[in-house]
């Protein structure tokens, strides 16, 4: 019995070592993008540059680059050209855009479509919501841009606190976190396959907090009878010059028709628009978003 147990342990160890080597050689494991506190906001660590990986076989492999201001962009937001129209896009992971190369972001697509008449700064952060959006606008954008677009979904509207703006958390990594960051096999199982979330749901018998939020956002209709669920305090801070971007089916129609802010629908003409197993936009989706913004800006500029 002891020999059998020893044999099993040796097999497991050798298999784990082999998988670790394979994952590292072929760069198949996802990783957590490091963060930094910048002016009391938990943004991405400036200067970080790497390949973002998702999928069991690394189907998504995209280049990201964090600028000096803590956003995923090849542009330095402190460089200002007075001859250009400046456009800001605020949003969550869809605007952050790790699912495609940073060189092919929504901003770069928009600049290309508008023959470089505009310069676009993307203020995207995964997990962001309406509370983050209004603070990003007030702190980084108001009075500095010709146009400010904000991508909003039903899920964003029901959040009651920011996820990263003004959220100053200790950044000292624990031993466990350092170990996790250095073992490709653990990261592969957790990030690429979501093992941590699946185990939590299995043993708790209930969906995780994040999956509950996703489910609530998909299933809950923001009707007049449920207006109290919307974060009205955050919405009241939306400036009138913010243009709301939305996808059909992801933002309640009654909200769209009742808001005082201009609204622009992102219509997905180019398909496929996403990464399949990952619902985030691929390059086609980003081109579609850029076109929606382009058409809106040109309609106003041509009318002047």
Task: State residue 82 phi and psi, 5-degree precision.
Answer: -65, -15
Any domain includes 188: yes
Structural tokens at position 81 = 């050209």
Any domain includes 55: yes
Any domain includes 13: no
> Tens digits of per-residue pLDDT, 80-91?
887 889 999 999
pTM of the model: 0.86
Domain count, the chain: 1
Any domain includes 12: no
Residue 244's nearest CA partner among 154, 151, 153 is: 151
**Where residue 299 falls among pLDDT bands split at 50, 70, 90?**
very high
Over the Cα atoms of the chain, what is R_g? 21
Any domain includes 259: yes
Task: Say if residue 268's pLDDT is above 70.
Answer: yes
Domain ranges, residue 244: 30-303
Task: Say if residue 224's pLDDT is above 50.
Answer: no
CATH number where 42 lies = 3.40.50
Any domain includes 21: no
Any domain includes 24: no
User: Rounded to an integer, what distance in angstroms lies between the CA atom of residue 223 and that of residue 173?
Assistant: 43
> Tens digits of per-residue pLDDT, 166-200?
987 766 667 777 788 888 888 888 888 777 766 66
* Residue-level pLDDT at 202: 65
Any domain includes 64: yes
Which spans in 195-282 are helix H?
A: 195-204, 209-219, 232-235, 253-258
Distances (CA, A) of 25 to 22, 28, 110, 185: 5, 8, 36, 12
Distances (CA, A) of 273 to 64, 89, 270, 286, 287: 20, 19, 7, 8, 9
């Amino acid at each position: 019995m002891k020999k059998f147990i020893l044999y099993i342990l040796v097999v497991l160890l050798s298999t784990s070592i082999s998988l670790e080597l394979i994952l590292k050689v072929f760069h198949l494991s996802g990783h957590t993008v490091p963060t930094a506190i910048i002016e009391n906001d938990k943004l991405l660590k400036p200067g970080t540059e790497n390949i973002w990986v998702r999928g069991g076989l690394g189907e998504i492999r995209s280049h990201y680059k964090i600028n000096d201001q803590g956003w995923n962009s090849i542009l330095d937001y402190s460089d200002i050209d007075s001859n250009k129209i400046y456009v800001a896009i605020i949003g969550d992971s869809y605007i952050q855009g790790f699912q495609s190369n940073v060189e092919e972001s929504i901003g770069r697509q928009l600049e290309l479509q508008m023959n470089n008449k505009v310069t676009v700064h993307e203020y995207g952060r995964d997990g962001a919501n309406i509370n983050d959006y209004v603070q990003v606008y007030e702190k980084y954008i108001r009075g500095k841009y010709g146009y400010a677009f904000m991508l909003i979904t039903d899920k964003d509207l029901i959040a009651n606190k920011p996820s990263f703006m003004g959220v100053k958390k200790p950044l000292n990594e624990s031993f466990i976190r350092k170990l996790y960051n250095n073992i490709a096999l653990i990261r592969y199982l957790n990030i690429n396959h979501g093992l941590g979330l699946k185990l939590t749901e299995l043993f708790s018998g209930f969906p995780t907090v994040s999956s509950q939020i996703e489910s609530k956002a998909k299933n809950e209709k923001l009707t007049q009878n449920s207006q109290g669920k919307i974060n009205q305090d955050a919405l009241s801070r939306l400036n009138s010059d913010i243009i709301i971007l939305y996808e059909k089916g992801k933002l309640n129609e009654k909200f769209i028709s009742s808001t005082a802010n201009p609204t622009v629908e992102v219509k997905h003409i180019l398909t496929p628009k996403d990464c399949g197993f990952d619902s985030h936009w691929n390059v086609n989706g980003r081109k579609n978003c850029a076109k929606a913004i382009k058409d809106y800006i040109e309609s106003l500029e041509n009318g002047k």
